[in-house]
Structure formats: structure tokens, C-alpha cells
Amino acid sequence: MKFMGQVPIKLENYFPSPLKALCRRLAMCYCVFCVFSNLHLSLLYMKTTLDMLESGELEEITDALTMAIIFSFSTFATCYWLIRSQTLLKFISKVNREYRHHSLAGLTFVSAKQSIRLAHKVSLYWLISCTVGVVSWALAPLLLGSHTLPLKCWYPFDPLKPGLYTFIYATQVWCQFLMGCIFGNGSALFVSVVVIMLGQFDVLYCSLKNVTHHAQLLTGEDLNILRKIQQELPKSQDDELNQYALLIEHPTNLKELSVSKMTHNANLGQALHDSLVECVHIHQFILQSCDTLEMLYNPYCLVKSLQITLQLCLLAFVGVAGERSAMRAINLVQYLMLTLSELLMFTYCGEMLSSHSIRAGEAFWRSQWWINGHLYKNDILMFLVNTRRMVKLTAGKFYLMDVQRLRSVITQAFSFLTLLQKLAEKNQ
């Protein structure tokens, strides 16, 4: 996001103090340059669309309008994250600082490493897919050996002149690369945070499942007794399915567990209270992080939903009614698949986060709470009441980002597509 101008680069960290003010100005100038790179093509395509309105060629109008929408959203995304960059950096810093690497010590444990690895893979593969999709479009004229530009838009001069062609071509390639990465950044960041939060929910579930045994470890329980209980636990293939969203539960190696390093608390009731309080802290961290994610993304998702709806409609119409060529068909399919994939990522991740946010109570019931429940029953009741709060990721507070939203966006897009096809038939 720093390379795409969405977050200012901290150049002052690499130069002496007298040059810090200059470095900040240079960083902001680069961000402005990235904004202008997207904005100028957005304006050129708007002018192209207005000129096409007079010709009456609906296919050309929709083609130009599609690119105008794409570059307009790219400009919006760059400006939006640039304005919210400080909030975003504080949020990411908090997540990196406070997330739990693993669950509380008990008979079993889960490690958050798997969710971090998955978030990294999703981000990497998605950004590669977005980059390949736009670069293949940009390189199409070179692959076909034609003296044309990848983006056909209005210019106040002849862009195919020998002195200007190379410069304009390089500018369009840079803008398309920038646009592809900007599209990928917003959804990759969203999915990465959701995947990490799902991993934290799994850490919470496993900690709740081991509340009693963690308290026994705190009070210096005999490890031989705990080993015997551990041996009686169901095997992984026989255990309850879908307890966790992403992580895998492993048995704790009690032979190598050093109980002497733990704080022995002679009062089992206090130890149970302390164990549940730690689970409450994990739960509060997750809810606060999800609230910040919602605050950051609900305006972005509102504009993104509108952009995806229009883009799906126009891409489908251009693909059906536009000119027939192999390279163009491949590029249109790439853009269409990337758009659908991005919509699926936002809605599916929102659905997963909402559904798993209210399962903390289920996880607690898996612990042996009935054995010593009378020692901390008030804590249990307060915790269970708070676990009923569902995490909701919305689009501008109007719509939930869930699977239902996926269906409605696709329905709206193809309703507009039907309308455009009828207009095209009428014009013919």
C-alpha cells in the first residue's frame, strides 16, 4: 500500500534529521502522483464516454464506461486509504502487538501460526492474480504486434505519433499496474485481517475448552492425573467436527510441560476466575479489532458494492455484445473472474466472521465446567451474556457483507445486463 501511494512512505526514518521535512513532502508528492495517475485516466474515459453518447454505439459506450468506473474507484481507494492511513497503521500495529500466538495451556492447544500463514498466502496469490490480469491487458498490443494502445480513450492530441506513442504506452501500463495492485490491496487487507481474527476466535475456543485444566495447572495439579484425563479424550477423528474455523487442535505434551514456571495459586476458585478473565481479554481484543475493521471498511464496502454491481453488468454486456477477438475475450474473462472473486471474498469472509463470533458459548460448554461451576458461576453467566454479541461487517451501515449480499449484487448486476441488452436490440 505504501508503494501504491495509499499509505505515505516513512522516508524520514532513512535520512538525517535536517532532511525529515523534505522527506515528508517527497512522500506526499509520490502519493499525489499515484492519485493523479488514476484520476487522469478516469477523466479521459469520462470524456470518451460522453463523446460516445453521440455516436449511438452502445457497445463502445459501455466499454468506455466500464474503464471509467474502474479508474474512478481506483482513485477513490487511493484517496480513501491515504486519508485513513494513520488509523489503519495504528490498527495493524495493535493487532500485531496484542494477538495471541496460542491458546491457554491445558490438555490441548492450537497455534495461530496457521492462520497467519494462510493470510499471507491469500494476500500473495490474490495480488499476483490482480497484477497478472491487468498486465496481460496492458501487454496485449505488444503480443498482437499492433501499433495501438491498450486503453482506447480520448486524448487532446494524437497519442500514436512516434514521439508520443512510447511515453503514452508506458504511462498506461504504469496506470494499469497501479490500478490492479490498488484493487488487490483493499480486498487482501480485508481478508487477511478476517483470517487472523478467525484464528483468534479459534484460540479463544480452545482456551475456553481448557479453562478448568488451565486452572488446575495454575494450582499445581498432579500432572499424572492430567495425563490420565488426556488419554481419555476422544481421538481427533472421533472428536466433534467444525469446532474451529481454521486451526487444528493438538494434544499438549504434558511430559515436557514445566509447571514450576507457572504461578501456583492454592485457591482453585481464584484460578478459575483468572483463567476465564484471560479468555475475556482475548474476546475483548477480537471484538475491538472487528469494530475497528468495520469502522475502516464500511464506507469502502459501500462504494465497492456499487462498483462491483456496475462493473459486473458492463463487463458481461461488453463480453456478449462487444467485438470478437481471442485476446479481448481472455482479458474480459480475467476482469470478470477477478471481480466475482473479489465480491466472494468480501461476502464470504463477512459471513464467516459473523457466524463464528457467537460460538464462544458453545466452546465454553465443551470444558468440564460442571465440576467446579459453583466456584465461579457469576463469572460464567456474565461471560455467556457477552458472547451473544455478533460481529457485523456492513457496507455503509446499510447492508451486511454476507452471502445474502453476494446473491443480491449478482441479481442486480444481471438485471441491469438484461436492460442493456433490450436497449441494444431496440437501437438495432
- Residues in the chain with pLDDT values less than 70: 56-58, 222, 230, 232, 234-239, 257-266, 318-329, 331, 369-370, 372-376, 420-421, 423-428
**pLDDT at residue 321, as a whole number:** 60
pLDDT, position 5: 85
Q: Do the Cβ atoms of 357 and 290 come closer than 8 Å?
A: yes
Residue 223 has a pLDDT of: 73
**For residue 140, what pLDDT is reported?**
76
Pairing of strands 399-400, 394-395: antiparallel
Calculate the alpha carbon distances from 236 to 165, 205, 272 in Å: 63, 16, 26
Q: HSE of 275 in the Cβ direction (CA atoms, 13 Å)?
A: 36
The residue among 385, 405, 386 whose CA lies nearest residue 395 is 405
Closest CA relative to residue 317, chosen from 143, 66, 72: 66
Residue 220 is predicted with a pLDDT of 75
What integer pLDDT is reported at residue 258 of this predicted model? 61
Q: Phi and psi (nearest 5°) for 10?
A: -80, 70
Residue 261 has a pLDDT of 46
Q: Determine the pLDDT at residue 274.
A: 82
